[in-house]
Amino acid sequence: MDKIISLQELKKHNSQSSVWMVIHNDVYDVTAFLQEHPGGEDTLLDFAGKDGTQGFEDVGHSDDARELLKKYKIGTLAPGERTAHIESCSKLKWAVLALAGAIVIGFALKKYLNK
């Protein structure tokens, strides 16, 4: 059973000596990962003591990164403090951008080829 961690407790761990963050309502202690993080430690420190779900998803982490995350899980947020996250939001954003780009390229090609 996961340890239940409050937002109040989470907020205490917001310095380089103790970095906890929330991703999809699970709490992770990533202090030991600061030096190894490919994006640099500042990326993690920006979300220390906070919910980093959106930042995590915006980057588009690989399956390997998601698997590695399990190593640092220490608990979950208290039920009354959890938030709903739409996991596919980031993927949807990129799909919409790709579609928009394809449409723009299509119009440009049509205009160019009709000359």
pTM for this model (two decimals): 0.71
Cβ distance 74 to 45 under 8 Å?
no
Tokens 């309502």 -> residue? 25
Domain ranges in the chain? 4-84, 86-115
For residue 56, the model assigns a pLDDT of: 92
Q: pLDDT band for 89, please (50, 70, 90 cuts).
A: low
Question: At 14, which helix (H) or strand (E)?
Answer: strand 14-15
For residue 88, the model assigns a pLDDT of: 47
Sequence-separated (6 or more) residues with CB below 8 Å from residue 1: none
Give the pLDDT confidence of 91-105 residue by residue, as tens digits: 666 677 788 888 888
Q: Which CATH superfamily is domain 4-84 in?
A: Cytochrome b5-like heme/steroid binding domain (3.10.120.10)
Give the pLDDT confidence of 11-68 residue by residue, as tens digits: 999 999 999 999 999 999 999 999 999 889 999 999 999 999 999 988 888 899 999 9
